[in-house]
Amino acid sequence: MLGRLNHVAIAVPDLAAASAVYRDTLGATLTEPQVLPEHGVTVVFIDVGNTKIELLEPLNAQSPIAAFLAKNPSGGMHHLCYEVTDILAARNQLQLQGARILGDGEPKIGAHGKPVLFLHPKDFNGTLIELEQV
């Protein structure tokens, strides 16, 4: 079912400051910030060759990232995103195996313009998993 690791997401309290660290200290090239109201975040991607790093900043206090930062004020690793070829088939198979899909269970369009779903971290060793259709 799983394809390659698409990205590792890091929640940050200040996207501009985090971007500066990656750009100025680590020499990374970053995308322009992208606002994703449906997900409650602003994101920046860093291409590291074999995968990407996604920096996430909450848009408002209702964002799931705001809740994460309330527990982890300095930020931290938020989720892993894996590619799948058919997100609906993956969802259906996972549900049959007892995995919980977050939200209403229907894919939403993610930052790359492709359908995404999130899987409950309690079902995956404490790690929030995002699936992205390729």
User: Strand 115-119 relative to strand 128-133: parallel, antiparallel, unpaired?
Assistant: antiparallel
- Is 130 an active-site residue? yes
Q: Domain with 30 in it: what CATH number?
A: 3.10.180.10
Res 93: pLDDT: 97
pLDDT of residue 43: 98
How many domains is the chain partitioned into structurally?
Answer: 1
pLDDT at 134: 96
| Amino acid identity at 133 | Q
Query: What is the spatial distance between Cα 38 and Cα 63, in angstroms, rounded to a whole number?
Result: 10
Catalytic, out of 54, 57, 130, 132: 130
pLDDT at site 91: 98
Domain span at residue 29?
Answer: 5-133
The pLDDT score that the predictor gives to residue 110 is 95
What's the confidence (pLDDT) of residue 78?
Answer: 97
- Predicted pLDDT of residue 33: 98
Low-confidence ranges of the chain (pLDDT < 70): none
Q: What is the pLDDT of residue 2?
A: 92
